[in-house]
Amino acid sequence: MDLGIDGDTVVVTASSAGLGRASAEALADEGANVVICGRDPERLADAEAELADLAGDVLGVETDITSKADIDALVEAAVEAFGGIDHVVTSAGGVPPGGFADTTEEAWYGAFDMLVMSAVWTVEAARPYLEASDAGTITCITSTTVNEVADDLILSNAVRRGVIGLVKSLSRELAPSVRVNAVLPAAHETSRIEELVEASVERGDHDTYEAGLQSWADDIPLGRIGGPRELGDVVAFLASDRASFVTGACIPVDGGRLRSA
Ligand SMILES: NC(=O)c1ccc[n+]([C@@H]2O[C@H](COP(=O)([O-])OP(=O)(O)OC[C@H]3O[C@@H](n4cnc5c(N)ncnc54)[C@H](OP(=O)(O)O)[C@@H]3O)[C@@H](O)[C@H]2O)c1
């Protein structure tokens, strides 16, 4: 299926690794120009080099998405390089695992900046370009925790719901010129899952890393952890004209893990 995004420009936040990077790869495979970002310059340069051979062009911009100024500069760099922006994909860093008793006020505000304000600032800066495009889309990568809370992830459980409120509101406010959707990953092979499994072993929930990882897979009807690209391909589809009647949708990409609809 031709997604028809050849030559479009996409800004993907938090994308030097993991789900953001896999989304950038899927989009660039289809010929879109992708602007990727992250804090670690070496990791960013590696990702830029790895994506360089795909059909679309790639530009890496060192960015901390918890800084509005950095996000403004990211959007400016995208426009300068490619003349506009057709799509935004928001990913983010992970927020610390833990329960209510372990979570400081500083961590609550930090999670809000990381998960909610990073998306708000990106949309704010990119909106004029998305509205000027004839194919504007925003896709927010969040988590299945917006539907079903996960143990020891109170920040993700509570704060990510703000992203869904943002997506649903924007899908109405920016219609019909910009479509806005969310994708909800559960467990994909990235360093974030490694971090969560290691935390579960430290808490004593599992004896070994392998047992911890297996417990995630055991709760997934398809019987395995997802690949990052299995999320990235859905993101590319949502940005494309093949999804032209899809807006305001929150789509789990979780191997069937969510029990609720
Ligand atoms: N993987 C999963 O199965 C899964 C499931 C549910 C939800 N999620 C959520 O989806 C998001 C992405 O997860 P992932 O698995 O892709 O994580 P990951 O593999 O750890 O990758 C995170 C990416 O974000 C970048 N990043 C982190 N903090 C940043 C910041 N302040 N500014 C700019 N870039 C930043 C990292 O680069 P630098 O560190 O160099 O900045 C890296 O490129 C996270 O919010 C995660 O909690 C993931």
H/E element, 77: helix 68-82
Q: What is the pLDDT of residue 219?
A: 92
What is the rounded CA–CA span in Å between residue 180 and residue 88? Answer: 9
Across all residues in the chain, what is the average pLDDT? 97
Q: pLDDT tens digits for the chain (261 residues)?
A: 889 999 999 999 999 999 999 999 999 999 999 999 999 999 999 999 999 999 999 999 999 999 999 999 999 999 999 999 999 999 999 999 999 999 999 999 999 999 999 999 999 999 999 999 999 999 999 999 999 999 999 999 999 999 999 999 999 999 999 999 999 999 999 998 999 899 889 989 999 999 999 999 999 999 999 999 999 999 999 999 999 999 999 999 999 999 998
Please work out whether the CB of residue 43 comes within 6 Å of at least one atom of ligand 1: yes
Centre of ligand 1 from the C-alpha of residue 198, in Å: 16
The pLDDT score that the predictor gives to residue 261 is 82
Q: Is the CB of 187 under 6 A from ligand 1?
A: yes
Q: Does the Cβ of 145 fall within 6 Å of ligand 1?
A: no
Q: Ligand 1 pocket test: pick from 50, 58, 192, 231 the residue with the most ligand atoms within 8 Å of its Cβ.
A: 192
Nearest CA to ligand 1 atom 11: 92
Residue corresponding to tokens 């609809």 = 261
pLDDT at position 252 is 98
The DSSP bridge partners found for residue 59 are 35
Strands 179-185 and 58-62: unpaired
pLDDT value at residue 1: 83
What are the sequence ranges of the domains in the chain? 9-188+227-244, 190-225
Q: Ligand 1 within 6 A of 65 CB?
A: yes
User: 108: exposed, middle or buried (C-beta count within 10 Å: 0-12, 13-18, 19+)?
Assistant: middle
Give helix 209-218 / helix 191-202 axis angle, nearest 10°. Answer: 110
Q: Is the CB of 193 under 6 A from ligand 1?
A: yes
The pLDDT of residue 238 is 98
Atom of ligand 1 nearest to the CA of 66: 31
CA of 14 to the centre of ligand 1 (A): 6
| Residue whose CA lies nearest to ligand 1 atom number 47 | 94
**How far is the centre of ligand 1, averaged over its atoms, from the C-alpha of 217 (Å)?**
20
Ligand 1: which atom is nearest the Cα of residue 19? 16
Q: Where are the beta strands (DSSP E) in the chain?
A: 9-12, 33-38, 58-62, 87-90, 137-141, 179-185, 250-253
Question: Which residue's alpha carbon is nearest to atom 42 within ligand 1?
Answer: 17
Determine whether the shortest distance from the Cβ of 20 to ligand 1 is under 6 A.
Answer: yes
Query: Helices 228-239 & 18-29, crossing angle to 10 degrees?
Result: 50
Architecture per CATH, domain 9-188+227-244, reads as 3-Layer(aba) Sandwich (3.40)
